[in-house]
Amino acid sequence: MTESLLLRAIRREPLPRRPVWLMRQAGRYLPEYRALRGKHSFAALAGDVDLATRVTLMPVERFGLDAAIVFADIASPLPAMGVDVTFDPGPVIARPIRDQAGIEALADTDPESIAPVVIATLSACRSALPRGTALIGFCGAPWTIAAYLIEGSGAREFPTLRAFAAARPGLLHRLLERLSKSMADYLIAQHRAGADVVQVFDSWAGLLCREDWERLVRPHLARMLEEVGATGVPRILFLQNAPHLVGAYAQLPAEVLSVDWRVDLASLQSRVGGRFAVQGNIDPAVLLAGPGPARAATLGLLDRVDAAGHIVNLGHGVLPETPLGSVEALVEAVHAGSAAAAGPRPFRSVT
Ligand code: CP3
C-alpha cells in the first residue's frame, strides 16, 4: 500500500518529489467539465453523487495530480442549516442574515446528516482513487461563510459584512459560533467518509485588521480547527489576500499553511517550517500567459522553496480561461523536479 505523497509531505518527510494539486482543479478551464456543464447547472452537478464524482476525478485523470478535491462548493453545507442558496455563478443567499432572528433560525447540524451528497461523493471518490492519490475534503472558514450569509453574495470588499462586524459584534460572535460548530461537524463527516486531508478555505480572511480579527474571528476559527484536529485528520489552512494575518494564522492549530502569491513562500517556510508544511503559491494569472511562463514560475518556486514539507499549488483557484497547456507545464515541471520522479500511476476510472 503506497501512502500518498501529500500525506507524507504534510509530515515533512523526505520524498522522491513534491506533491502537486491545484485549488479549483475541477472547473470551467477543463473541456470535459464544460461539456458536462452544458447539460447541467452547477447546482445539478454538485447535487448528484455520480456527476460530482466524475467531475472530482476529471483533473486527476487528465494530469496525474497527487490529490483530488471533492467537487462541491463552500455553500454546499448551508441547506443543512436551513439556508436557501442558489449559484449565479457564486453563492447567492435568498435571505441574508442581518439580525438575531436570522441567526436563531439557523438549524443545528450533526456529522451524521450534514450535506449527504458531498459525503456520498467522498465515499465514491475514495473507492475509485488509488491509495496513492489523496482525497481532500473542505469547508469555508466560519468568517468566509459568514461573509456570504451576511452580505448575501460575493461583493467587492464586503461592506455590509464589515458594517455588521462593527455595529453588532455580539451577533457576529453568535453567528461564528454556530458556523464553527457546523463546519467542524461537516469536516468530521467528510473525514469519516474517506477524506484523507481537509482544507479550510478562508478566502475572505483579509477584510479585517489584525486587532479586529484577533478579537472577532480567531477564537471561532481556532475552536473549529481544534475540534477537527481531535479526529487526527491533517488540516490545511488557506488564507487569501491577507499578508498582514499570516503570522497570526501561523499560531493556529493546523498542519499546513496555504497562502496566496502575495506572500513569499520561502521566507514563510523559514519562519514556520519547523511546525507547518507549506502549500502554494503560483499566481493563477501567470498560467493565463501560457506554458512557458507557467513552467518558469514553477521552476522558480521549486528553486526558492525547500522541498521538505512543500505542497505545490497555486495561490488561489485555477481561472476559467486557463490554457490546459499551462497546467500540463506546471505539473511536468514538478514531476521533472527530481530524477527519481514516480511514473504514471494506475488509475481506476468511474464513468
Ligand atoms: O477546487 C475544486 O476543484 C473543487 C471545487 C470547488 C468549487 N468551489 C466548485 C465551484 C471548491 C473547493 C470551491 C470553493 C469555493 N467556492 C470558495 C473557496 C475557494 C476560493 O475560490 O476562494 C469560494 C469563495 C466559493 C464561492 C464560489 N462558488 C464562487 C465565488 C463561485 C463563482 C465564481 C468562480 O470562481 O467560479 C462559485 C461557483 C463554483 N464553485 C464553480 C465551481 C466549479 C463555477 C460554477 C460553474 O460551473 O458555473
pLDDT digits (tens, 9 = 90+) for 176-193: 999 999 999 999 999 999
CATH number of residue 209's parent domain: 3.20.20.210
Q: Residue 268 sits in which domain range?
A: 5-339
Mean pLDDT, the chain, integer = 95
pLDDT digits (tens, 9 = 90+) for 212-243: 999 999 999 999 999 999 999 999 999 999 99
In the chain, the number of structural domains is 1
How many A from CA of 338 to the centre of ligand 1?
32
Note the pLDDT of residue 2: 82
Please indicate, yes or no, if residue 351 is contained in any of the structural domains.
no
Please indicate, yes or no, if residue 158 is contained in any of the structural domains.
yes
Q: Is 89 in the pocket of ligand 1 (CB under 6 A)?
A: yes
Please indicate, yes or no, if residue 348 is contained in any of the structural domains.
no
- The C-alpha atoms of residue 263 and residue 244 are separated, in whole angstroms, by 10
How many A from CA of 136 to the centre of ligand 1?
15
Q: What is the pTM of this model?
A: 0.95
Please indicate, yes or no, if residue 350 is contained in any of the structural domains.
no
Note the pLDDT of residue 337: 84
Mapped onto helix, strand or coil, the DSSP state of residue 152 is coil
Please indicate, yes or no, if residue 131 is contained in any of the structural domains.
yes
Are 164 and 204 spatial neighbours (Cβ–Cβ below 8 Å)?
A: no
Note the pLDDT of residue 348: 45
The residues annotated as belonging to the active site are: 24, 28, 37, 73, 148
Peptide bond into 281 cis (omega under 30): yes
Note the pLDDT of residue 345: 41
- The C-alpha atoms of residue 2 and residue 7 are separated, in whole angstroms, by 11
Are 33 and 26 spatial neighbours (Cβ–Cβ below 8 Å)?
A: yes
Residue 294 CB neighbours (<10 A):
26
Q: Is 40 in the pocket of ligand 1 (CB under 6 A)?
A: no
Read off the C-alpha cell for 139: 469547508
One-letter amino acid of 165? A
- Which residue numbers in the chain have pLDDT < 70? 1, 338-351
DSSP state of 80: G
Please indicate, yes or no, if residue 109 is contained in any of the structural domains.
yes
- The C-alpha atoms of residue 191 and residue 198 are separated, in whole angstroms, by 7
Mapped onto helix, strand or coil, the DSSP state of residue 331 is helix
- The C-alpha atoms of residue 51 and residue 170 are separated, in whole angstroms, by 41
- The C-alpha atoms of residue 138 and residue 203 are separated, in whole angstroms, by 12
Please indicate, yes or no, if residue 349 is contained in any of the structural domains.
no
In 64-108, which ranges are continuous DSSP H helix?
Answer: 100-104
Are 77 and 183 spatial neighbours (Cβ–Cβ below 8 Å)?
A: yes
